[in-house]
Structure 1
Amino acid sequence: MTGGPLDDLDEQQREAATALRGPVAVLAGAGTGKTRVITRRIAHGVNTGTYSPGRVMAVTFTAKAAGEMRGRLRALGIEGVSARTFHAAALAQLNYFWPTIAGSPAPAVVDNKVRLLAHAADGIGMAPDVATLRDVAAQIEWRKVTMRSIEQYAQARPEGAGRLGLERVLDLQRAYERLKDERRQMDFEDVLLACAGMLEAEPRVARAVHEQYRHFTVDEFQDVSPLQHRLLELWLGGRRDLCVVGDASQTIYSFAGADARFLLEFDSRYDDARVVQLLRNYRSEQPILDAANELMRDRPGALRLVAATEGRPPQADAGVPVTTVTAFEDDADEARAVASRIMAQQKQGIALRDIAVLYRSHSQSAELLRALTDAGIATTVLGGRRYFDLPEVRQAVMALRGASVAPVAGGLVDAVRDVLRSLGLTDEPPAAGGAVRDAWEARAALLQLAEEAPEGTTLRAFTDDLAARARAHDEPALSTVTLSTLHAAKGLEWPHVHMVGLAEGLLPISYAQTFDAVDEERRLAYVGITRAARTLSLTWARGSRERHPSRFLREIGTRILQTERGSAPSAGGNRIGRSRNATSPRARPQPSR
């Protein structure tokens, strides 16, 4: 990179990147460049001598996000910063200090909580089904990240799990903890609990950690749980060099213990906190942002985003509606219509990798997959098997590694192409969709990575890079349409997004009955809308249960969304009015602050 880390930042981003000391909160709306700000701020701190790289800890929530942060820092010439997830940082500290405290290695981490729960259930004469075991596992995670004992959990969650009543759930949780202790294992939540306990009980460990890390940055701060926040406080040890970055409107993991109050009340916790808002969105067209802004109007912490005119390609599809909403008779009609629209986009020259179909729950994907496969459209389901775990990719990487041992004639691209051809890669994709097309796309992505490699890259260096990508979950973009739940889509973006199932009972989902639960669904819809850059299609289907359009569509309204008529919609089925639903969270008066 040429120039300094503050080059090409806008005024708001520069203000955040130059606030190097003391408590700082960066309220970063979707598409406003928060990762750029985080990494530029750290680079600026190092370059000015304010930070020593080895004493900076940057914490985020996924290994992929941590890997991206490290990559951006390397591109800025910054090495030695600890960019990790909460769990990775805590586990590293446990593994380092535990032997000196206990005289033995730290306990192993449970690799499958549901399997261990099944063994615990068998030990006490229970045989719950897998779905119930998953529910109990989720409740154990919630209990621990909210720092509740089993007795406190019983008071907060008296409903039980699956077909198990509360007492049986408590018996199973106690059996799980006993078995885990007998096997000398920790689960993921125990890693955080044990690290926090170690810092509280061992002053010399706390002193060593405080000496090592002086400056902290926490990304996605709206997703911090009470346990993570407690661990962060122990890492800080009363010091104040903390920068938090987040967006309350993207809090979509409250069910798992995330608590946006830590972000919303940051300036109350630190009365001298500097708060910077990032409002210039470099991703989306303004009509998309208008829909997002209207959906979140008057919600706590909501930021009104404005499309930046610089830094984004011009809208090439002049005359094409940016945001539309369409009603259909049933889910099959809706899925076929989405497939037809994607075919039309493909004919316009839009790459399939630039298109996503988003939905609330996994069960909605089956109809969509059927329609897209029938249309011959290659798809990738986000949250399925990881790219580097696909059999055809593993086979190809092994073959490439084997070929790299001997001298290679020609350049990298030719060598990779020859290996992939021997495994079945053809110059043109198969005409049909399905598994054969998926395998072709997976191999073709490896060839594209070779084509994008720096000039002079050897085949051995290329295979080393593939191994590094696999470890960092840095997966290539396939030439396929992405199907994803709204939860899994968080943090991603596509030029063209189709959001399906905008109906009561699907979004908000049927079991969201309380004010807070519906509000979480609203934020989930907001996350989906703000994934779109160029065009946004919102659809819903009446179905056999006579669904109604989502209250979220009514709240956004026809002033922003252009309504279209789908295949034989019911009379009045696609009229999106401005009336407020009495059960909508927005109808509840908000306390003044």
Structure 2
Amino acid sequence: MAAKLLEGLTPPQREAVVHRGGPLLVVAGAGSGKTRVLTRRIAHLIATGEAAPWQILAITFTNKAADEMRTRVAELVGPRAARMWVSTFHSACVRILRANADRLGYRGSFTIYDDLDSRRLVEIICRDLDLDTKRLPPRSILGMISQAKAAQQGPADFRAAATSLFERRAADVYDLYQQRMVAANAMDFDDLLLNAVRLFKEHPAVLEHYQARFTHVLIDEFQDTNAVQNELAKLLAGGHRNISVVGDSDQSVYRFRGADITNILEFEAAFPDATVVTLDQNFRSTQTILDAANSVIANNVGRKPKTLWTDGGAGDQIVRYRADDETDEADWVAHEITRLHREEGLRWGDVAVFYRTNAQSRALEESLVRVGVPYRVVGGTRFYDRREIRDVMAYLRVLVNPDDEVSWRRIVNVPKRGVGETSVARLAGWAGTQGISFGAAVARAEEAGVGAKAARGLTELVALLDQLRAEMIRPEPTGGEGDAPGNGSGVTEDGELELFPDRSSVPVEGHLGPGEVVVAVVERTGYRNELLAGGTIEALGRVENVDELAGVAGEHRTVAEFLEAASLVSDADQVETDGTNVSLMTMHIAKGLEFPAVFLVGMEDGVFPHLRSLGDPVELEEERRLAYVGITRAE
């Protein structure tokens, strides 16, 4: 089988696949078959017996990519591939933290806050501190907190480094934010990574367990890792040093999210004995397209040098259109797409239009509508960001984690039950003086001194939630003591006795599955009736969305499992294209996709490259990388 895994590979690809032991850096250019190399490498490790499936940790940057990798490896080595850990960094950290949360002052049922939840909590804290949110926007403060966490700065370190009034006020918010997060038994996305690092550093036995468990660590899209993810990788590979990373410095385009290109540029400094394999043969684009991409990226200094090439021929020339303005540009694009469809037989779904910012889509949409071209804006409002979905999800989150402040605040008066802002403020204030969570204060509403009507409504709500909590299937709390989670079976994957089995995924008690819980919530609270009372097409659409949520939830065993899966869905996981619509999207969203015909619009100073990059060499290099990504999406 091992020999068969090498069939059809180029010499560099084969070298990467068969690499035995020690650090490996695969510099994989756009369209060079990196996914194929990574999956074949994993399969080769298993087929040769160099590693058992359960000893492999493979990290991708989207759940979609993880599912694809798992499927491809299974096709090569069979069902035993299911015993690998293939996940995103965040998913892997959640899995580790669920089993060890008590060591860090959390419970295993902690809630995962997304950006909207975190921003809402920051808004609440700003109001409590009486801050002017026009001068100190919560979004900006949250951005500073996230940047601080990416740099592994806690509230005290951040305050010590603050030099401006804005930074000092942000430090005040950061301090309270972390206190409220712990009280709410919640972690944001940054916390998932930071707390995993903290766990490993404060509890060496836990780290040693995972180092022994995962004898091979493989990471895709390494150029997109941030400092904390890089440290996690080094910690996990610290014992055996069998770490394989695949990436392309020329496709590092997420600096605004904390991605640090130096992680891939300095990999050899961190691992001096690393083997480096360069994949520069492209299997997607024509040489004309590759020449354009090569010429753009060659101007960058911070990169791993390579020149993409193909044996597929030169192909058509790139068409350049100099437009008078954005309307003229959009009209030309719309008519050219129509021509490609009618004269060259391209399906609408074969065509994509990329732009630098979402604001550029308006003119394009207007022109496409005028000429009758079907299109889809990729990366619009996420399903889980819709109001009615967040309302129901908040109920589910409170069922699993009764201390979740943001979710409690969302549902206390949805549907209306006479609980106004005054009552909410009284509950929050009383919770603070009593040293209890907001959720605990809700359960003692009368004692907290809220009005009679509000207290009556909250008492009924708490009783309903208690009843649902008793009826729903839920996981048995993680049991055992010790330094590591297990797999819940009582034995490890290699047949040895497991001292500390992880029971967090074993459904117990109750009879309502997640889908049934969603239905029960919307029916018993009166939320469905409130939605229907709107009597509009939009209202009916919201009801349909809630019904769809029930269907999605029903695919999981427990509410907790469903909430975790939903919270870890990334923007990239939401990207879908089809054969019936032209795709409109930003170049950031386009990363990882490919199309027979691609239009790059707005390529002018101040638009693309973006205005903020002009005069800033570091930002300008990021813009070139973004252009490189856009160009190399074309087939």
Instruction: Indicate conservation of the 8 Å contact 2:379/2:574, yes or no.
Output: no
Instruction: Indicate conservation of the 8 Å contact 2:104/2:199, yes or no.
Output: no
CA RMSD of aligned residues (A): 3.5
1:331 alignment counterpart: 326
Name the amino acid aligned to 2:191.
D
1:354 alignment counterpart: 350
Name the amino acid aligned to 1:15.
E
TM, length-normalised to structure 1:
0.71
1:110 alignment counterpart: 113
Matched, 1:96 2:197: no
Structure with greater helix share of residues: 2
Question: What aligned pairs does 1:151-162 form with structure 2 within 5 A after superposition?
Answer: 153=158
Q: 1:294: how far off?
A: 0.6
Matched, 1:342 2:343: no
2:621 alignment counterpart: 519
CA distance in 1, matches of 2:107, 2:604: 55
Secondary structure, in 3 states, of the residue corresponding to 1:502?
coil
Secondary structure, in 3 states, of the residue corresponding to 2:352?
strand
Matched, 1:125 2:121: no
Secondary structure, in 3 states, of the residue corresponding to 1:356?
strand
2:596 alignment counterpart: 495
CA distance in 1, matches of 2:268, 2:604: 38
1:176–1:516 Cα change, 3 Å:
same
Name the amino acid aligned to 2:210.
V
1:400 alignment counterpart: none
Which whole-Å deviations, capped at 9, do the CAs of 1:56-100 have from their partners, x for residues lacking one? Answer: 001121222212211211222341221110010011001022357
Q: 1:109: how far off?
A: 1.7
1:380–1:131 Cα change, 3 Å:
farther
Instruction: Indicate conservation of the 8 Å contact 1:145/1:228, yes or no.
Output: no
1:364 alignment counterpart: 360
Name the amino acid aligned to 2:140.
D
Q: How many residues get paired? A: 458
Q: 1:324: how far off?
A: 1.9
Where in structure 1 are there 5+ consecutive unaligned residues? 392-434, 440-459, 534-593
Instruction: Indicate conservation of the 8 Å contact 1:64/1:474, yes or no.
Output: no
Secondary structure, in 3 states, of the residue corresponding to 1:22?
coil
Secondary structure, in 3 states, of the residue corresponding to 1:326?
coil
Q: 1:473: how far off?
A: 5.3
CA distance in 2, matches of 1:214, 1:140: 34
Secondary structure, in 3 states, of the residue corresponding to 1:498?
strand
CA distance in 2, matches of 1:509, 1:155: 33
1:186–1:390 Cα change, 3 Å:
closer
CA distance in 2, matches of 1:233, 1:97: 20
Q: 1:47: how far off?
A: 0.6
1:222–1:43 Cα change, 3 Å:
same
Name the amino acid aligned to 1:22.
G
Q: 1:201: how far off?
A: 1.2
CA distance in 2, matches of 1:329, 1:263: 41
Which whole-Å deviations, capped at 9, do the CAs of 1:408-444 have from their partners, x for residues lacking one? Answer: xxxxxxxxxxxxxxxxxxxxxxxxxxx9xxx9xxxxx
Matched, 1:303 2:306: yes
Question: What aligned pairs does 1:127-526 form with structure 2 within 5 A after superposition?
Answer: 128=133, 132-150=137-155, 153=158, 165-297=166-298, 299=300, 300-309=303-312, 321-347=316-342, 348-385=344-381, 475=576, 477-512=578-613, 513-526=615-628
Secondary structure, in 3 states, of the residue corresponding to 1:304?
coil
CA distance in 2, matches of 1:158, 1:503: 36
Percent identity reads: 35
Name the amino acid aligned to 1:144.
K
Q: 1:155: how far off?
A: 8.1
Q: 1:103: how far off?
A: 8.8
Name the amino acid aligned to 1:336.
D
CA distance in 2, matches of 1:122, 1:387: 29
Name the amino acid aligned to 1:351.
R
1:474–1:359 Cα change, 3 Å:
closer
CA distance in 1, matches of 2:307, 2:97: 42
- Of the structure 1 ranges 28-37 and 139-148, higher mean CA displacement relative to structure 2 is found in 139-148
Instruction: Indicate conservation of the 8 Å contact 1:285/1:322, yes or no.
Output: no
2:90 to 84, 87, 91: 87
Instruction: Indicate conservation of the 8 Å contact 1:121/1:175, yes or no.
Output: no
Secondary structure, in 3 states, of the residue corresponding to 1:252?
coil
Secondary structure, in 3 states, of the residue corresponding to 1:208?
helix
- Of the structure 1 ranges 335-344 and 102-111, higher mean CA displacement relative to structure 2 is found in 102-111
Q: 1:154: how far off?
A: 6.4
Instruction: Indicate conservation of the 8 Å contact 1:18/1:41, yes or no.
Output: yes
Name the amino acid aligned to 1:120.
I
1:40–1:373 Cα change, 3 Å:
same
Q: 1:190: how far off?
A: 0.7
1:151–1:373 Cα change, 3 Å:
farther
Secondary structure, in 3 states, of the residue corresponding to 1:307?
coil
Instruction: Indicate conservation of the 8 Å contact 2:2/2:48, yes or no.
Output: no
Secondary structure, in 3 states, of the residue corresponding to 1:303?
coil
CA distance in 1, matches of 2:41, 2:333: 42
Instruction: Indicate conservation of the 8 Å contact 2:378/2:576, yes or no.
Output: no
TM, length-normalised to structure 2:
0.66
2:495 alignment counterpart: none
